[in-house]
Amino acid sequence: MAGTDSSRELVYAPSPAIILCEPQLGENIGAAARAMANFGLWDMRLVAPRDGWPNPSAMSTAARANHVIERVKVFDRLEDAIADLSLVYATTARSRDLAKPVLGPDEASNRLATHIEGGAKAGLLFGRERWGLNNDEVALSDAIVTLPVEAAFASLNIAQAVLVLAYEWRRASGRGALQFPAQMDPPASKEELVGMFEHLEEALDRSGFFKTAAKRPTVVANLRTMLSRGDFTSQEVRTLRGVFASLDRRHERPNPTRQKPEKK
């Protein structure tokens, strides 16, 4: 399947289903849909949403993630929502007595990526806003995913949790390359760097910076070593040479701080 969003084409690549269990607020559903869209997820499943479906608040909060909202599937039972999945991870910050593996978001996403790349289906399960998932719901999962949050403030908004896991999924799936890499100027050539060094050294000679001729080679070597660590671009070298030239001509300009002689 393919669709369009503004001027860019959407690609519905295989990805985990996002299952929200008994979500209460439409705004949270919409914000979760937006987070999914940001990172290329599109299969949202709702289990017994409190305010029913469709939900106008969810649609307005989704902020143009219409392709996610339009594909939402609603189920009465969690068992039905995950029936076609062969791997399900439950997200929770609470400790439990269940004998379930506990994974971090990076490891969970790597496992999800491997599972889905093999042609199987998987999903991430999220609980209610107020109290998350109960033990029976967690028992249906294959493992627990816990985010490394501050223990004293471990509760995340559903949309926030979806955003973090969606980001980790995109990174693990190999689709995490930056879409808009910074446009960098080309790095300065050695010829440009040497010209900058010599320009600075000549200016320092004229200013009397080198007090003794014997120490000049050592000071020059130290200056070149320091400047070589700068990883300069061509534009930065030109800028620095402009600075050197301006400082070198300073004596030619009137000193604004020098007081003018008083007229008698």
| Span 178-189, pLDDT tens digits | 555 555 678 889
pLDDT tens by residue, 3-30: 434 446 777 889 999 999 999 999 999 9
Residue 194 C-alpha from the chain's centroid:
38
Rounded to an integer, what distance in angstroms lies between the CA atom of residue 40 and that of residue 9? 11
As a whole number, mean pLDDT of residues 183-206 equals 87
Per the CB < 8 A criterion, the answer to whether 113 and 174 are in contact is yes
**In the block, which residue shows the tokens 């889905």?**
116
Per the CB < 8 A criterion, the answer to whether 68 and 166 are in contact is no
**In the block, which residue shows the tokens 């496992």?**
111
Count of CB atoms situated within 10 Å of the CB of 237: 21
Residue 156: what pLDDT?
Answer: 82
Domains of the chain: 2-172 (3.40.1280.10), 190-252 (1.10.8)
Task: Please state whether the predicted TM-score (pTM) of the whole model is above 0.85.
Answer: no
Query: What's the full length of the chain, in residues?
Result: 264
Residue 44: what pLDDT?
Answer: 97
Residue 129: what pLDDT?
Answer: 84
Which is nearest to 18 in space by CA: 113, 85, 99, 114?
Answer: 85
As a whole number, mean pLDDT of residues 51-78 equals 93
**In the block, which residue shows the tokens 């939900």?**
55
The mean of the pLDDT values for the chain is 86
Residue 93: what pLDDT?
Answer: 72
pLDDT tens by residue, 210-246: 888 888 999 999 999 998 888 888 999 999 999 988 8
Residue 24: what pLDDT?
Answer: 92
Residue 254: what pLDDT?
Answer: 57
> How many alpha carbons lie under 13 Å from residue 235 in its C-beta half-sphere?
4
Residue 253: what pLDDT?
Answer: 52
R_g of the chain computed on alpha carbons: 30
Tokens for 126, please give them. Answer: 């999220």
pLDDT tens by residue, 85-116: 999 999 987 666 678 899 999 999 999 999 99
